[in-house]
Structure 1
Amino acid sequence: MIVSDTPKPGADSSAPQDAPQPSPDKGRKHSDFAYQAVYRYLVSLISEIETDARVKLPSLRQLAERLDVSISTIQYAYSLLEKEGRVYSLAKSGYYALPVSGVSFVSGSADVLERLYVHSRRPGTLVLSSDEPALLLSLDNPLLLLERELVRQYPRQQAPQFQPFGELELRTALAVRYTTSAQRYWHADDVYIGADLRSVLETLMAALSLKHATVLVESPCDWVILRLLQAGGVNIVELPLLDDGGFDLVALEHLLQTQPVKLLLMSSGLSVPRGSLMPLAQRQHLARLLERFGIWLLENDSHGECAFEPGGPRMRDLVDPDRLVVFASFERIMGAEAPFGYLLSRHLGAELQRHFLLRSFRMSPTRQKAIARLYSSGRIDQHLATLRRLLQERMTHMIGLLGERLCDSLAFVPPQGGATVWAQASRPVDMRKVFERLLERKIVVAPGELFSLHGLHQQHLRLCSTSHRHLDQALGVLADALRLEQLD
């Protein structure tokens, strides 16, 4: 039988039989279906098209020979893109791409964050502003395979399960994960799961009654967290981190003596975007200050697993557990298929239960069970060991390129973990203009001003180390922009 390069209408859209069947217990080399690699290749190919006219894509036979896979694998990848509306087929002609016009994405707003978001979604853009460690190694495939297996195992519920605080199995797994001793323990009842990190933080802010309260925040700080606090009417005081990853503890003690601070928001271990670890002696001194002044600790553990090497006790292991709340999300270490956020608190039960009941999160119990199985089976620890190695390898490569291309333009402390480099211009520059110059070349970086609400970090920027496409050329463009925008 002769196989046509163009699939017939109504062709079977199931996955090709020759696609490898991954197991959740295998490493990355067995984690992808063949058609997924082809899909990613085609997405990259379409993204490089910079015209509004329709563009003919390679035929099934051409791609099969180029990528050394079967025609049915190519056909299935094309069918996925066709369902998404990114390609279309013409009988006896082949597949065509009609990319989204970059013009429709252009924002006239002067707001830097809005422009960053808009331009990051333009076709063909190199995004050096992101912070997504799981891009190097996600658990999407094992998670979905586990979910499919659970659907087969469990009978269909005749009535929807009502678990307003999250799936019990996952809450139990997290309680076990965070328990470190007979004194530092957690129960499932101390764990609350929400749809994503943003909604969990919004619920927590309501439970803590943070409106008009004074909150200390380590700086630089994630812009999502900063803007949530700002929108909630919180009085934010930013505490700049020093080059060694710690605070000026003398200045902090004076601040605690003079202002009615309710809580301190800081990272559990690895501070992102700096990628720094606070020295243990500083953490211990800080814990004593919080105890002395009766300050709550709100610990951000979203990147706690991303340090290249163990960093000793976390802040939560040093402070009074009666004044501790921990929050994080699975997405940073697992990938986009695990968007849920969660928090742990031993002493806010009544308020958290009330506010989580009011939010009425609708979340897949099966997906939550699958995440719980990744923890209970030890699969998450295998994944994290590999992810840390990949992050460190990519960071080493990034630092090498920065040394070659930007040694005279940028200064930075090599990160101790994570997927970003926090760099400062060696000479004063207009970083806003640097940002705009790069946008013109379809390169997006994150200016330091985004990580502060009070004008800090104007000479800084964040670069991600997970990107590899055209990275060397992009850093050359960045070096030129920094040179051209120097301030007299």
Structure 2
Amino acid sequence: MKGGRETDFAYQAVYRYLTTLINELGADARVRLPSLRQLAERLNVSISTIQYAYSLLEKEGRVYPIAKSGYYALPVPSIATLDDGDDLLETLYVNARRPGMRVLSADEPASLAPLDSPLLLLERELLRQYPRTAQMPSQPWGELELRTALAARYTSSPARCWNADDVYIGADLRGVLEILIAVLELKGATVLIESPCDWTLLRLMQAAEVHVVELPLLADGEISLEQLEQLLAKESVRLVVLSSVLNMPRGTFVPEGNRRAVAHLLEKHGAWVLENDSYTDLAFETRATPFRDLLDPDRLIVYSTFEKTVGPEAPYGYVLSRQLTLQLQRHFLLRAFRLSPIRQKAIARLYSNGRIDQHLLVLRRLLRESAAVTTQMLRGRLEDSVQWVEPQGGATIWMYSRRRVDPRRVFQRLLAQRIVIAPGELFSLQGLYGHHLRLTHALSGSDDMDVALWALAEALRLEQA
């Protein structure tokens, strides 16, 4: 183990060795681990290197020290495994919620700078202004103050203006998407979806028996105009789903010229467009023109969520539409979302007083710095094994293996080390992206990311071998 890179990376090898050793011990609550001196002699490294590896494991809750006795392994919660026929997404969800897991599959950009404190402070002030006994009943499609703030934010010209009556707010993004699928009567209909695509939308479309046709982005992030025109001409397309500016999970823009050509083509065919606006505010550069400013607003539906920018205290999803008023009002009434009116008012104040824009400046800077640090780590740890798309926004990195590997086996190897990744196959219903994966770069602590990337490199190396 001693060599030119020991000073920087020996503790990672010791960490992996100890992780394997602990996993082999099973769930016994009190198993003594080798002493610092024993391990130093066994692995031919310094005692300080062993001590650092043990301290990492202690921070993760994998070991605990007893004075004058040494380190002991803590019982490890069981890992949900993926047997033949098991659902990969369900396995990911179950394990991502277990204690002590490194969740590299997450897409939580606001975790770097959540607005929880300002939001809750505003909420307390509003509670003094609006005592609970005097509160009006919740409005079925969202608080007027918040809907008004969103309508103003999305208005860009007299021709492309939105009113509060065009805005509908639901308990979460999933609930809003379920309503849209019902309102648009998509069961059995053909829907073109920009690909790769968020798994929530894909699974909801699949459950609703929608005929999904995926439109894969080209290597440079462009949409193939030829393929799009062929599909619009050949298929009876009910709806086209596009990202507003930033495609996720790729984390890239559709180039401006290509975006305008796509918009012209959609206008020519009179296609209805569903625009995903969840990540527009997370683009590192904000000069790009969103699709909604290039399309007929009367054949456009926009959906988004506050959670990606504000944080988990604002999980609501929302939709904007000019032409589906009666249908959307009816379905929101039937769904009867129970939303906190005070929380919605507090979110509205974040928009109206400019606090959200100040926050976004900070959040984008932190995301850009986090992406730069992580891609630098990738160059040092995984450049021989993977290629990746340089992110232009968001909290994730899209990558693929240079050599053929079984991504599910890589997923399982990492689960055994309490690391959760998002295999690329989750972002397609048609078996695309089998050799891709998505990682978060917004992980707290560079040590955690460093350890996780070393584990990923080792899992890929073993599979390639």
TM-score w.r.t. the length of structure 2 is 0.82
2:154 — aligned with what?
178
Per-residue deviation, 1:52: 7.2
Instruction: State which of 273, 280, 286 in structure 1 corresponds to 2:249.
Output: 273
Q: Deviations over 1:100-139 (max 9, x none)?
A: 9612866767221111111112222111111000110101
Percent identical pairs in the alignment equals 59
> What does residue 235 of structure 2 align with?
259
User: Which stretch has the larger CA shift, 460-469 or 325-334?
Assistant: 460-469
Structure 2 Cα separation of the partners of residues 53 and 153 of structure 1: 53
Distance in 2 (CA, whole Å) between partners of 1:269 and 1:461 is 22
Answer yes or no: is the 8 Å Cα contact 1:299–1:316 preserved in 2.
yes
Query: Which residue in the other structure is 1:413 paired with?
Result: 389
Gaps of 5+ in 1: 1-49, 56-98
C-alpha displacement of 1:432: 1.1
Classify the secondary structure of the residue corresponding to 1:172.
helix
1:169 aligns with 2:145: yes
Q: CA RMSD in A?
A: 2.1
**Residue 364 of structure 1: aligned partner:** 340
User: Within 2, Cα distance between the matches of 1:216 and 1:52?
Assistant: 52
Q: Deviations over 1:145-176 (max 9, x none)?
A: 11011001113335751411100000000000
Conserved 8 A contact 1:269-1:311: no
Whether contact under 8 Å (1:106, 1:118) holds in the other structure is: no
Secondary structure of 1:336 counterpart: coil
Q: Is this contact kept in 1: 2:424–2:433, CA < 8 A?
A: yes
Question: Which secondary structure state, in structure 2, belongs to the residue aligned with residue 342 of structure 1?
Answer: strand
Contact 1:150 1:366 (C-alpha < 8 Å) held by counterparts: yes
Q: What is the rounded CA distance, in whole Å, between the counterparts of 1:478 and 1:129 in structure 2? A: 13
Q: Is residue 228 of structure 1 aligned with residue 186 of structure 2?
A: no
Instruction: Name the CA distance, whole Å, in 2 between partners of 1:136 and 1:217.
Output: 30
Q: For 1:332-371, list aligned pairs within 5 A.
A: 332-371=308-347
Output aligned runs, 1:46-85, within 5 Å: 53=29
Within-5 A mapping of 1:31-46: none
Q: For residue 86 of structure 2, what is the aligned residue in structure 1?
A: 110
Question: Residue type of the partner of 1:103?
Answer: S
Alignment of 1:279-294 (within 5 A): 279-294=255-270
Looking at structure 2, the residues matched to 451 and 227 of structure 1 have their Cα atoms a distance apart, in angstroms, of: 10
- Kindly indicate whether residue 446 of structure 2 is the aligned counterpart of residue 471 of structure 1: no
Alpha carbons 1:277, 1:311 under 8 Å: kept: no
The aligned counterpart of 1:153 is 129
- The separation in 2 between residues aligned to 1:470 and 1:327, in whole angstroms, is 34
Q: Is the 8 A contact 2:196 2:250 kept in 1?
A: yes
How far is 1:473 from its partner? 2.0
Secondary structure of the equivalent of 1:424? strand
Counterpart residue identity of residue 152, structure 1: R
Which residue number corresponds to residue 125 of structure 1?
Answer: 101
Structure 1 residue identity aligned to 2:171: A
Cα offsets for 1:324-362 (capped at 9, x unmatched)? 000000001111100110000011111111111111111
Residues 354 and 169 of structure 1: is their aligned pair in 2 closer, same or farther, counting only changes over 3 Å?
Answer: same
In structure 2, what is the equivalent of residue 300 of structure 1? 276
Closer/same/farther in 2, CA of residues 100 and 172 from structure 1, 3 Å limit: farther
Structure 2: distance between partners of 1:399 and 1:104: 29
Counterpart residue identity of residue 127, structure 2 = V
Q: Residue 427 of structure 2 corresponds to which residue in structure 1? A: 451
Work out whether residues 105 and 122 of structure 1, in 8 Å CA contact, stay in contact via their aligned partners in 2.
no
- Is the 8 Å Cα contact of residues 105 and 121 (structure 1) preserved in structure 2? no
Q: Name the CA distance, whole Å, in 2 between partners of 1:439 and 1:372.
A: 41
Question: Is the Cα–Cα contact under 8 Å of residues 29 and 75 in structure 2 kept in the other structure?
Answer: no
Shift of residue 264, structure 1, vs aligned partner: 0.8
| 1:205-255 deviation digits (Å, cap 9, x = unpaired) | 111111111101111111111001111111100111112211111111111
3-state secondary structure, aligned to 2:315: coil
Aligned mates of 1:114, 1:174 — CA distance in 2 = 34
Structure 1 contact 245–279 (Cα < 8 Å) conserved: yes
Aligned to 1:190: 166
- Structure 1 distance, partners of 2:149, 2:30, is 50
Cα distance change, pair 459–104 in 1 and its aligned pair in 2 (3 A): closer
Checking the alignment, whether the CA contact within 8 Å between 2:82 and 2:88 is kept in structure 1 is no
SS in 2 for 1:305: helix
Q: Which of 418, 434, 443 is the equivalent residue of 1:442? A: 418
- How far apart, in 1, do the equivalents of 2:453 and 2:79 lie? 27
CA separation in 2, counterparts of 1:296 and 1:371? 30
Give the Cα separation in 1 of the matches to 2:213 and 2:75: 42
